[in-house]
């Protein structure tokens, strides 16, 4: 089972980082390169325990849907989502947050099992692990930039910039 562990240092308070990470509109903005949108019953606001979220995006040139459920939630230190349908046989994404002085360490742990047995494992090693690492790195870089540079303007009522 491929596993990606990534730590992103963000110069912002833990509560802010936690809330930004689960902000659904910001999520789609941080992965705009995949044309990701939320479809289904919940498309705005914040991910909460028990929410079922369906994302539609273009990955590897193919429009795909992934539905996940928020299965763990402890503000402001942890939330996790588990895929309930989509291209993966299984997928779990744990987001943890640790305050260190005036900054936050945001830790992602992404684990998945690809479908198709040995063919899926071959795809993992050939390109999928690299693709998923890059996807997560872009998302985290964009979230970090928003948290450190644009959050104060958003809070002053200027909305999305």
User: Among 68-77, 127-136, 150-159, where is mean pLDDT lowest?
Assistant: 150-159
Inside any domain, residue 7: yes
Single pTM value for the model = 0.90
Where does the pLDDT of residue 152 fall: very low under 50, low under 70, confident under 90, or very high at 90 and above?
A: low
Domain-located, residue 49: yes
Question: pLDDT at residue 90 above 90?
Answer: yes
Structural domain includes residue 42: yes
> Does residue 56 have a pLDDT over 60?
yes
Q: For residue 150, what pLDDT is reported?
A: 73
Q: 126 lies in a domain?
A: yes
pLDDT, mean of residues 51-65: 96
- Asked if the structure places residue 61 within a domain, the reply is yes
Closest CA relative to residue 110, chosen from 147, 140, 65: 140
- By C-alpha distance, which of 135, 110, 143, 106 is closest to 23? 143
Mean pLDDT over each residue of the chain, to the nearest integer: 93
Q: Computed over its alpha carbons, how large is the radius of gyration of the chain?
A: 16
* First vs last C-alpha separation in the chain: 39
Mean pLDDT of 18-46: 94
| Residue 161, in any domain of the structure | no
| Domain count within the chain | 1
CATH code of the domain covering residue 106: 3.30.530.20
Report if residue 104 sits inside a domain.
Answer: yes
Q: Does 108 reside within a domain?
A: yes
Domain range for 137: 3-156
In this prediction, residue 154 has a pLDDT band, given cuts at 50, 70 and 90, of: low
pLDDT at 160: 47
Model confidence band, residue 40 (pLDDT cutoffs 50, 70, 90): confident
- Per residue in 91-147, pLDDT (tens digit) is 999 999 999 999 999 999 999 999 999 999 999 999 999 999 999 999 999 999 899
Q: Does the pLDDT value for residue 156 go beyond 60?
A: no
């Amino acid at each position: 089972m491929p596993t990606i562990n990534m730590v992103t240092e963000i110069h912002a308070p833990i509560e802010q980082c936690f809330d930004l990470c689960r902000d659904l509109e910001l999520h789609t903005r941080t992965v705009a390169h995949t044309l990701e949108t939320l479809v289904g019953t919940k498309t705005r606001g914040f991910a909460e325990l028990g929410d079922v979220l369906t994302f539609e995006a273009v990955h590897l040139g193919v429009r795909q849907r992934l539905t996940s459920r928020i299965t763990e939630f402890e503000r402001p230190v942890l939330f996790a989502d588990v895929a309930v349908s989509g291209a993966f046989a299984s997928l779990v994404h744990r987001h943890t947050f640790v305050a260190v002085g005036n900054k936050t360490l945001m830790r992602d742990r992404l684990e998945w099992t690809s479908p198709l047995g040995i063919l899926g494992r071959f795809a993992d090693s050939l390109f999928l692990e690299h693709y998923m690492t890059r996807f997560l790195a872009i998302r985290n870089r964009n979230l970090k930039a928003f948290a450190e540079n644009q959050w104060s303007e958003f809070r002053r009522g200027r909305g999305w910039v």
